[in-house]
Amino acid sequence: MKLTILGSGTSHGVPVIGCSCPTCLSEDPRDNRSNASLLIESGGQNILIDCGRDFRQQALRHQLGRVDCILLTHTHFDHVAGIDDLRVFSRRGHPIPLFGSPAHLNYLKTYIYHYLFDPTIQRGGGVTELDLVAVDERFLLAGLLFETLPAWHGELEVFGYKFGGCAYLSDVSRVPKATLQKLYNLEVLVLGALRHAPHPTHFTISQALELASEVKPRRLYLTHLCHDVLHEQTEQSFEKKGGPYHTGLEAHLAYDGLRIEL
């Protein structure tokens, strides 16, 4: 199994339009962040977790030749806006399975992508054909057992996913006990951490490190980062003994294009 961080940024992306802060002006390519998304390659299949507004560029950059299914964490636009571009991968009669919580699938169908499910709509240029699959706790996919990781993103319940010794939880500000129990003994944990300062709907870097220190994954990658986080400087602070970000874990910031081999 191979993981690729297709995007490591928050909804605005980095650089932010009109911003001239050090991260937005940085020449380090790791400070260039598109909307958060993960590609899982397993058993010859390409599985996407989320499909945000930067999906088209991500797919071109990685020469993505197929998408076999999508797992949805929630329906914020930075996680679903690329679904329209999936039409090149879906053929009429061969819809792409999209897995998610019943509430999020219902919201997606009713409010965001109503036209995809309207049989009366003119289908000239083609539309993405989706097969919505509501999931609860666990399901099998590409020879892997997936488990949902319900968590809180402010007041919104979202899903993370656990599979093959890895877990991905991108937009999160509180993790309930039942989900925390599932995060022990991981090989890889990809966890959302927006910035240094507190935020009502996302973990800070400190909060994410605190959770990771409890469950102790062998490798930790922080994702869904905003422009307050300068890559090189923050990475170095993970190593600084006695510093606020030192945990003793193998901790990194994710960046666009990062490949994680397992």
Q: Site residues (CB under 5 A) for Zn ion?
A: 16, 19, 21, 24, 76, 78, 171, 227
Cβ distance to Zn ion smaller for residue 19 or 197: 19
Nearer to Zn ion, 16 or 133 (CB): 16
Query: Which CB sits closer to Zn ion, 127 or 151?
Result: 151
**Rounded least distance, CB 236 to Zn ion, Å:** 20
Round the CA-based radius of gyration of the chain to a whole number and report it: 18
If we measure between CA atoms, which residue out of 64, 94, 101 comes closest to residue 82? 64
The least distance separating Zn ion from the CB of residue 83, rounded to whole angstroms, comes to 15
Name the residue among 176, 164, 173 with its Cα closest to residue 191. 173
Query: Scanning the structure block, which residue is given the tokens 């997936």?
Result: 146
The secondary element (H helix, E strand) that includes residue 208 is: helix 205-215
Residue closer to Zn ion, measured from CB, 171 or 256: 171
Q: How far is the CB of 85 from Zn ion (least distance, A)?
A: 18
Nearer to Zn ion, 33 or 227 (CB): 227
Residue 15, preceding peptide bond in cis (omega within 30° of 0) = yes
By C-alpha distance, which of 88, 83, 20 is closest to 52? 83
Kindly compute the dihedral angle of the four CA atoms of residues 193, 254, 171, 203, in this order, to the nearest 10 degrees. Answer: -10
Task: Fill in the amino acid letter for 59.
Answer: A
As a whole number of Å, the end-to-end CA separation of the chain is 6
Kindly state the smallest distance separating residue 215's Cβ from Zn ion, in Å. Answer: 22
* Cβ proximity of 99 and 133 under 8 Å: yes
State the minimum distance, in angstroms, from the CB of residue 230 to Zn ion: 10
User: Closer to Zn ion at the Cβ: 54 or 68?
Assistant: 54
- Min separation Cβ 226 and Zn ion, Å: 8
